[in-house]
Amino acid sequence: MEDVLYDNVAVHVFARVEAGHALDETTTCKFRHLLEEHDLTRLLFELSRDILNQRGLLVKAGTIVDATIISAPSPTKSQAKQRDPEMKSTNRQWYFGMKAHIGTDTPGLVHGVAVTPANAQDVTLMDNCLHGQEEVIYGDTAHVSDQRRAQVQARGVQWHVLRKATRTRKLPCADQSFNKKSNRTRSRVEHTFGVIKHLWGYCKTRYRGLDKNAARVYTRANFYLARDSLLATMTAG
């Protein structure tokens, strides 16, 4: 971080660090531990979300829920040669790590976050990603649940979770048309993950344990909420 503050003009301007006064690595590390110890990254994210909500910038009529895998190092690549016990493999054993669940409004602004081991079922974390005032909910086939659909529709909320084929039943044309229409809105959440994972490079965990890595997820969700302001600040500088 110290080198970045000196070498990267955009970061230097954003951090408002005077020449020759960049924080050393020890101070930066202590600050990170302080944020983790007091769960401040989550609180800062919620504060940013509430400010946007108060300004009428969050569209609360609909929520898009989705989840993505953040890979953890394999035992052969970790210094201790042991897997992180808080990280898990997906049900098909294809990926090992944790899962970030988010809820966004229909334009793609994040308002709900949850972090779990990678083997958690997406549909069980849906409530953590909703704000409770939705008129419509969008999700992929990992959120299919007849029970949840009945509960949601009983409240008068539209259920636009993608419909899923089975081994014995192909997807009817009507369901294919429904999925195509729903995907026009649902796919916006993929842009959010695309920015966080690929543009900002958060594809792998950096620390052991869910809490430390969850703090990084909340930080990046916060950056995503404030990205327009951050870009304006760096451009002005």
CA 55, 57, 63, 66: dihedral to nearest 10 degrees? Answer: -110
Please give the residue that has the higher pLDDT: either 213 or 8.
213
Confidence of residue 82 (pLDDT cuts 50, 70, 90): confident
Q: Residue 133 belongs to a domain with what CATH number? A: 3.30.420
Could you tell me if 49 and 58 are in contact, meaning their C-beta atoms sit under 8 angstroms apart? yes
β 110-117/96-105 pair status: antiparallel
Q: What is the pLDDT of residue 14?
A: 64
Residue 27 belongs to a domain: no
Residue 203 lies in a domain: yes
Let me know if residue 89 belongs to a domain.
yes
Is 232 domain-assigned?
yes
pLDDT of residue 164: 94
The 10s digit of each residue's pLDDT in 35-78 is 999 999 999 999 999 999 999 989 989 999 999 999 998 765 55
Structural domain contains residue 228: yes
Task: Round to whole Å and give the CA distance between 90 and 183.
Answer: 24
Position 17 in a domain: no
Containing structural domain, residue 150: 58-236
Read off the pTM: 0.86
Tens digit of each residue's pLDDT (9 = 90 or more) over 131-159? 999 999 999 999 999 999 999 999 999 99
Domain count within the chain: 1
